[in-house]
Chain A
Amino acid sequence: AQSVTQLGSHVSVSEGALVLLRCNYSSSVPPYLFWYVQYPNQGLQLLLKYTSAATLVKGINGFEAEFKKSETSFHLTKPSAHMSDAAEYFCAVTPGVSSYKLIFGSGTRLLVRP
């Protein structure tokens, strides 16, 4: 069965500092991996997705993630945090090309200190 683990329910960084949100997955088949962001009282917005085309995936708002099969990881990074990045971030996995049955991690709340 597939699963996703997000390490750290809360991450706090200073404005301008590196953002690193961790995601590890478990999958018996090549996975499709996603990062979503959720602002208060809103739905989910796709930041980026990995579909095996390239291991380093660039997304919106300056975020990127690297797929590392040997480490079963898909960590999200941003070189310089902005106050507007404060939100909850979810990593998700789906088993393959023909399904959007997403399995989500428990989420990481990013706090950005001025």
Chain B
Amino acid sequence: KAGVTQTPRYLIKTRGQQVTLSCSPISGHRSVSWYQQTPGQGLQFLFEYFSETQRNKGNFPGRFSGRQFSNSRSEMNVSTLELGDSALYLCASSQGIGPNTDTQYFGPGTRLTVL
């Protein structure tokens, strides 16, 4: 079974631009979460989706948005990019909505560099 796929793997943008990152979960998984990883702030939770519904949102400005499609694929969008948005963006998927009987798998991440 294929793992979590994130595209693109690397991305370079300039300040003020917007960007869309894509995540394809493992087949049969209906839950997708997103995280931002930076050297200064570490790993921070962005969003959690299940069956196209956003269940949780992290403490990020409104420039960060996301959505999930009916096939469970997810996208996140960052508008008006700032230098501080440079980070590794990680996507994770699971079958259900919690860890009691379920395991979450992470993708390799998208490395975003903002110049």
Interface size class of A (residues with CB under 8 A): 20 to 34
Tell me the residues in window 62-93 of chain A with beta carbons closer than 8 Å to chain B beta carbons: 90, 92
Question: With a CB–CB cut-off of 8 A, which chain B residues contact A36?
Answer: 106
Q: Is the CB of A43 within 8 A of B48?
A: no
Question: With a CB–CB cut-off of 8 A, which chain A residues contact B100?
Answer: 32, 51, 97
Distance of A93 from chain B, by nearest CB (Å):
10
- B93-104 vs A, CB cutoff 8 Å, 1 = contact: the mask equals 010011110011
**Residue B90 is within 8 A (CB to CB) of chain A in the complex:** yes
Counted as pairs of residues, one from A and one from B, with CB atoms less than 8 Å apart, the total is: 68
Q: Is the CB of A43 within 8 A of B31?
A: no
| Least CB separation from A96: chain B residue | B98
Q: Is the CB of A49 within 8 A of B106?
A: no
Interface residue count for B (Cβ, 8 Å)? 26
Q: Is the CB of B42 within 8 A of A107?
A: yes
The one of B45, B107, B108 in contact with A102, judged by C-beta atoms closer than 8 angstroms, is B45
| Least CB separation from B6: chain A residue | A43
**Residue B55 is within 8 A (CB to CB) of chain A in the complex:** yes
CA distance A100 to B25 in the complex (A): 15
CA distance A51 to B96 in the complex (A): 15
Name 10 extra pairs, CB < 8 A, besides A44-B92, A99-B56, A101-B33: A32-B99, A42-B108, A43-B107, A43-B108, A44-B90, A46-B104, A92-B43, A101-B45, A104-B43, A106-B42
- 29 chain-A/chain-B pairs, Cβ below 8 angstroms: A42-B108, A42-B109, A43-B106, A43-B109, A44-B90, A45-B106, A46-B103, A46-B105, A49-B99, A49-B103, A51-B99, A90-B43, A92-B43, A94-B98, A97-B99, A98-B97, A98-B98, A99-B55, A100-B31, A100-B48, A100-B94, A100-B97, A100-B104, A101-B33, A101-B45, A101-B56, A102-B35, A102-B43, A104-B43
